[in-house]
Structure formats: structure tokens, C-alpha cells
Amino acid sequence: MSIVAWIVLGLVSGFLASSLVNRHGEGAVVDIVLGVVGAVVGGFVFNALGSIGVTGFNIWSLFVAVVGALLVLIAYHAIARRRLV
């Protein structure tokens, strides 16, 4: 995939994941970073479970990226909450 496709996939998946967790997006830049990192994490997790990870710019890759971004976002909130308490 090209860098533009990674950015678009990251923006969409990061926004979806942050909308599911926070009810609103985190901001365009954070959503892009969250989505790209989520795509990498999701691809790793899905490959470890014996499934296919990110394969290109398609619905399956978007699903994998959203699941990965959800995992990253939940871990981030757990760590950030622990620091505040």
C-alpha cells in the first residue's frame, strides 16, 4: 500500500476506534497515528491467531485496523488512568 492509503486507512480506522471508545474523535493527527499503529498491531494479532492481517485498502483491512486501534486505545487509557490515580 502507498503512504497515502496508509494515512487514509489510519484516519478512518482511528476515528472509528476512538468514536467507539470515547464517543468522539481524538483529532485528525491522533486518529491517523492511532489508526496506523492499530493497523500494525491488528495485523500482528490477527497473524498470531492464524488469520490474515492487513492486505490492502479493503473492508477486511479496515476491520483489522479498527480492532488493533481499539486494543491500542484501551491500553493507552488503562495506562493513562493508572498514572492519574
Provide the whole-model pTM. 0.82
Q: Find the mean pLDDT for residues 23-38.
A: 75
Specify whether the CB–CB gap between 67 and 11 falls below 8 A: no
| pLDDT of 17 above 80 | yes
Q: What is the pLDDT of residue 24?
A: 67
> Sorting pLDDT into bands at 50, 70 and 90, what band is 83?
low
Q: What is the pLDDT of residue 1?
A: 65
**What share of the chain in percent tops pLDDT 70?**
88
Strands (E), 1-85: none
Q: What is the pLDDT of residue 85?
A: 56
Q: Is 2 exposed, middle or buried (0-12, 13-18, 19+ CB in 10 A)?
A: exposed
Contacts of 24 (CB under 8 A, 6+ apart): 18
